[in-house]
Structure 1
C-alpha cells in the first residue's frame, strides 16, 4: 500500500533512509525539507507491507534559474529498506509520485540517479532540455521528466535549496 506520510511515520522514514544509504545524510535531508517551505505533503509517500513502513519517496520544490526563476520538482531521496529492495516497491513509489505530481499540475521533475533505472519512468538526460546540473556529474545521471504541464520555457540551471548541501 502506498500513501502520503503522516506525523507518526517520521521515525520510520528516518530509519528507512539510514538503513538504505548506510548513513544519516538522506534521512537528515528529509527532515530538513519537511520543515521548510519546499515541502509538499502530497508528494512525501510511504510504502507499507503488512502495516509496516518499508519505503519512502520525497518530491520537493527546487529552482530552475534561466530567463526567470521557475519552481520545479526534485525527486530525492528514494529509499526502501534493504530486505524489501528488488521487489518493485521503489518503482511503485516513483510511478505513484509522478502520477500525483502530474495531477497536481506540476511541470517538470529532476533526479540525480542511475540512468538505467530512471529511464524506465521517462527520465532523460537534462541536457536534452537545455537544463544544467549544479554538480559536475556525467550528463546521463542528471535527468528530467517532463509532465503534462511542461512548457519550453523550462530551461536554465538547477539550484537546490540549502537543505541539499549536506548530502
Structure 2
C-alpha cells in the first residue's frame, strides 16, 4: 500500500522553546478554486513524493468522496497558502465517516502552528456540518492533541496492517452511535 493516509512529520509541532519570534496567528478558510495550484505545491513540498499532491487531485474527481467545504488552508502572513488539511468521505462498514488526509505544511512554516490551526479549523467545519466521526492514520504522538484516540477502542479497523496506536478516531458528535467495523476509504487511496 502506498501510504497516502499518513500525515506523519509533514505538519508541525508546537513552537520550539527559545524561538526568536512568536509564532504567527494563522488565518484558516475553505480552499477556493484559486488555491488549487498552491494546495498542490504545499503537498508536493511537504512529502518526499508527489503522491499526496496527486491524491488530493484524485479525490477532487470523486464526487462520492469530495466535500469541497472540508478542504481547508491556513494562510501565511502574506496571504499565501502555508498549510492544508482535507477531510473526505469514507465509511466504517456502511456508516458515513470522514478521513483526515493529507495534512501538510510548507517546510518553512512547520513547527509554527499552521498545521494545528488548519486541522482545528477543518474539524470545526465538520462539526458544524453535523459530521459524527473522523479517522486518521498518522503520528500517534501528534493527533491526540485534537482528541483522537485509537480507533480500535470503537471496534474500528483498517483493511491493512498498521500499528494500533497510529489508526485513530475522533468522535465529533457523541449523540450518534459510533459505528464499528472495517474502514472503507475512497478508491483514490488505493487500499
* Partner residue, 1:121: 146
* Partner residue, 2:56: 30
* Partner residue, 2:71: 44
CA distance in 2, matches of 1:77, 1:31: 11
Where relative contact order (Cα < 8 A, 6+ residues apart) is larger, the structure is 2
CA distance in 1, matches of 2:157, 2:51: 24
* Partner residue, 2:3: none
CA deviations 1:71-105 (Å, max 9, x no partner) are: 11000000000000000111111111111101110
Higher helix share: 1
Identify if the C-alpha distance between structure 1 residues 33 and 149 changes in structure 2 by more than 3 Å, giving closer, same or farther.
farther
1:89 counterpart = 2:108: no
CA distance in 2, matches of 1:153, 1:99: 19
CA distance in 1, matches of 2:105, 2:179: 31
Runs of 4 or more off by more than 2 Å in structure 1? 149-153
* Partner residue, 1:53: 81
Runs (5+) with no aligned partner, structure 1: none
Runs (5+) with no aligned partner, structure 2: 1-26
